[in-house]
Amino acid sequence: MKPINVSKNIVSLSDFKIKASQMLHDVKRSHHPLVITQNGKAAAVLISPSDFDFLTERIRFIDAVQMGLTDVQYGRIVPDEDLDI
């Protein structure tokens, strides 16, 4: 996912409603997230399905690593010699 470009990637909800189809296409093609504002404040961020998949997979990986580190910290490990390989 590419960084947000303030001049191109922030739109009001009313502009999004008018150009939704084109903006959806642009987000999918460019992999730039789109910030949608409502009443002048950020209300939502639109990303492509592939970027969403990438982010959720990354979160699952980081969570698994953190769980493993926590297990090591609390001694919840199995020594190599006890493994049936």
**Model pLDDT, residue 85:** 72
Q: Render pLDDT for 36-85 as a digit per residue (tens, 0 to 9).
A: 999 999 999 999 999 999 999 999 999 999 999 999 999 999 888 888 77
Within 8 A by CB and 6+ apart from 45, the residues are 33, 34, 35, 36
Domains of the chain: 10-77 (3.40.1620.10)
**Model pLDDT, residue 73:** 95
The pTM for the full model equals 0.74
What beta strand segments (E) does the chain contain?
A: 10-12, 34-38, 41-46
pLDDT-derived band at 6 (thresholds 50, 70, 90) equals low
